[in-house]
Chains A and B, each alone.
Chain A
Amino acid sequence: MKTKPTASISQRIKKETAELHQRAESVSFFSELLQLKAEKQTYISYLRILAIIHATLEKEVSNSDHVVLKTLWQEKMRRLPLLEEDIEILITSKKADSLNWTEVYAEPDTPISIALRLALRIRVLSMENPFQLLGFLYVLEGSTNGGIRMAPRVTEAFGLSGNAGVRYLMNYGEEQSREWQNFKQRLEEAVISEDDVTAILAGAKEMFQNLIAVFEALSVPTKEKVVHASILNPEAGSHVVPQAGLELEASFIVAKKCLQALPYVFMRYGERGERFTKSDGAWIITLADFSDRVVFNQIEWLGRLLSVLGIPRFTLELNLREAAKELSTLRPTSKDKYAVLVRAADLLEQNRKDIIPLKRQEELQQRFLAALNPAELETYRNIDNILISSVADEKMDGLGALGKTLEWIQEKSNWPKNVIRAALDLVKDLQSTL
């Protein structure tokens, strides 16, 4: 039916979801929070679950080609960074108190599983019926109304100060009411048919139902807790990560070191790149329990997967070496176990040398480095290795990742001209001899 809807859309959504809204607000988690009786850990869990939902929804909506989603979406609606900031503040004090890192990162299974299912549903809808995602957005944007009222109670309950730990709830701050009116206005203008409204309504109801399920699950006390990849990175999905405190700790230190050594990751992929460095690195550590064959197979798989995305195998090699080093320091008695990670890194290095002899690599590196000034040498650390590895990867996989990397360097990297020139020359020289 392509008739223009008559009544105000937000009023209709409000009316038709009133009962669900009421149910969502009356789950015991919220009443405990408002009565200052909630555990800090439950509030952290709540933020972590919302992070999984926001991460997926914000990525799908902001990348969507759908005209209406494009009209509706504004960068300031992105709340994942706020969630991450709040979580970091709240767990920092926990980390300081706790001897066991597992305790800080483990979460009950059920709410996480619901959130992950919802994340998959968001991905499916963005392909099948993007209008329904507007209903999802409506509910999350609408939640800023309640958030602003809840924030002072949370601050009081957990002894926080200012906006610390409640940035997600405060979101637009004093602009909140105006932003909400704006959102509703944009929605009114964007929606053209009754079918659209039906889809949005279905989306809003589905979102409320899922949130109710998550919030109810949060209120159920559980002894069994697991460290989920999606806690380290809300977009990681559900692969395994270390459950042992020391290995988990090592994975954070390693991620930090890798990101320092590889500024390319942040330059090209921003915070998403940082998050995946963390979760992928944590997964790698779990491999150390297995034989060389198993580890090599898995590293080959991950190497291909990442290189297709423009993250060449050199990054993985560095990660494996740093992980082995860190783990052997933290757990010297298990040094032999972690040596398999070094052997996997050696294998990646050897594969690259088989395609580009070391001498040739060094020649090209020298030329590249000579084109950079001292400050640039620091800012563009390891870019030479990234480029050489990208060329070798392309030779191995032939999936066009190198082309996209070069395109990025030329059009989006914002690198100075001399660095771009040196990078393109390096690749051209290398390709001409392969």
Chain B
Amino acid sequence: MYLWCSYCQKFIGEVAPYDQHDISHGICKKCVKNKVVFDLDRIHKSQEIANLFLQLKEAVKDRNFTFIRSQYSRLKSLSVSNNDIFSGIYQPLLYEIGRLWETRILTMAEEHEVTSTIEEVVSLGFNEIPNIEKLRNSSTPIVLITSTSQNQHILGLRLLEYWLCENGIKNLVIVPGLPSEEILSLAKKFKPVVVGLSATMPSQELNQALTKLVEQAKGSRIVFGGRFARDCESADLPKGVTICKNIEDLHAVLVQCKVMT
């Protein structure tokens, strides 16, 4: 479930049940602390976001791709930030698309239509971040994230990259993925605080890459995320790997590593 704050219209994060890809409203810590008053305007805005998400889900089923494209500006007009649109609306929408593909309601071509629209919107979003050139593709990255060579699911990585940039963290996100040897040599070369791998499905190559990183990239914290990570527990992966089921988990790791507050 994707939780939004009804008071400030910000995306709070994912809450259980994690396999339900709908949005729900609550209140964020900041609004509690600031004792924000709940007024009619706020009610309208939260309703509008909730409705819009439902409309987007319907549009996917109806294959109304033009509608999906047009709703980004509507969300922006509600003062919703890019990060919140990407993680709080697009992510659950993509998961829903996966479910529809799995049950053969959508074809791969239709899935592709939506994915490429979202990819385009996300890539344009980067231009809105101040000092982006100092944060993205950094040669002194604090966080290095990539995936193994056979992974083509790159949207999750793009959203992470956006989130890192918006939070002012120098990063190097490499897509598409790399062979495990290359990942290791990048980790050794840059010595980032955090090295992350993303995977959507299990693969033998992933296990090898994680093992190599834990054993040989000693100075870095090794994290693992992506759709497959959501189904894993630590016993399922090589020892020493931290599982991040979502961006909030990565946030927690970065706080532990004193990179974020």
Contacts and interface: CB of A to CB of B under 8 A. Distances in A.
A238 B154 CA distance: 14
A290 interface: yes
Given A240-B150, A290-B236, A293-B233, A123 B204 contact: no
A124 B233 contact: no
Interface string B110-152: 1011000000000000000000000000000000000001101
A240 B204 contact: yes
A127 B107 contact: yes
B202 A294 contact: yes
B109 interface: yes
A246 interface: no
A286 B203 CA distance: 7
A12 interface: no
A301 B31 CA distance: 40
B226 to A, nearest CB: 13
B130 to A, nearest CB: 34
A126 interface: yes
Nearest to A296: B231
Interface in B87-113: 102-104, 107-110, 112-113
Interface string B181-208: 0000000000000000000011111010
B174 interface: no
Interface string A121-142: 0011011000000000000000
Interface residues of A, number: 28
Given A127-B109, A286-B204, A291 B236 contact: yes
A120 B150 contact: no
Given A293-B236, A297-B231, A308 B103 contact: yes
Contact of B102 (A239, A286, A287, A305): A305
A309 interface: yes
B110 A120 contact: no
A298 B228 CA distance: 10
Contact of A240 (B102, B201, B233): B201
A123 B109 contact: yes
B108 A123 contact: yes
Contact of A238 (B103, B152, B207, B232): B152
A308 B104 CA distance: 7
A153 to B, nearest CB: 36
A240 B236 CA distance: 19
B108 A294 contact: no
A293 B108 CA distance: 28
B16 interface: no
B235 interface: yes
Nearest to B231: A297
Interface of B: 102-104, 107-110, 112-113, 149-150, 152, 179, 201-205, 207, 231-233, 235-236
Interface of A: 120, 123-124, 126-127, 224, 226, 237-240, 242-243, 286-287, 289-291, 293-294, 297-298, 301, 304-305, 308-309, 399
10 contacts: A120-B108, A120-B112, A224-B179, A239-B201, A242-B204, A243-B205, A286-B203, A287-B202, A291-B236, A294-B202
Top 4 A-B pairs ranked by shortest CB distance?
A: A123-B109, A240-B203, A291-B236, A124-B109
